[in-house]
């Protein structure tokens, strides 16, 4: 079964190192919490808001061993009035036996506002 895993984070400024690091953090948690292996991934879409242009956040995924062949595409998020700025969103499509409600979606920083119903409590 193919399932989507959502992830998102925000950064405090349009800085390449910061974009890569925050993207890496959210990807790492998505991978760990859902026990994702590179061969189980169909593709990954990563979108950014229009105020982030310092680098391609997909570069973060290339830092993970074994992920070099996973197709990744960056794109611009639609600019909706009043939407969250400085935001990086991830949609990872994986083959899994997990049920929809068993998927762990990951939201960091201000991105927890995107889907508060999916945000898991941390540190408990």
Domains and CATH numbers, the chain: 2-113 (3.30.1330.40)
> What is the C-alpha separation between 44 and 70, in angstroms, rounded?
8
Please report which confidence band the pLDDT of residue 117 belongs to, taking 50, 70 and 90 as the band edges: confident
pLDDT over 70, % of the chain: 96
Which whole-number Å values give the CA distances from 35 to 6, 19, 41, 75, in the listed order?
14, 24, 11, 26
Look at residue 49 and tell me whether its pLDDT is greater than 70: yes
pLDDT of residue 123: 39
The reported pTM is 0.92
φ and ψ of 18, to 5 deg: -65, -40
Model confidence at 25, in pLDDT bands (50, 70, 90)?
A: very high
pLDDT of residue 116: 80
Confidence of residue 95 (pLDDT cuts 50, 70, 90): very high
Tell me what pLDDT residue 114 has.
87
């Amino acid at each position: 079964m193919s399932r989507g895993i959502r992830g998102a984070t925000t950064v405090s400024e349009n800085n390449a190192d910061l974009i890569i690091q925050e993207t890496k953090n959210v990807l790492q948690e998505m991978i760990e919490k859902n026990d994702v292996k590179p061969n189980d991934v169909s593709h990954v879409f990563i979108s950014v808001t229009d105020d982030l242009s310092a680098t391609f956040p997909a570069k973060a995924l290339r830092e993970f061993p074994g992920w070099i062949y996973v197709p990744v595409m960056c794109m611009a998020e639609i600019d909706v009035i009043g939407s969250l700025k400085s935001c990086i969103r991830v949609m990872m499509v994986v083959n899994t036996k997990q049920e929809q409600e068993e998927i762990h979606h990951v939201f960091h920083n201000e991105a927890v506002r995107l889907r508060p119903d999916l945000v898991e409590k941390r540190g408990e």
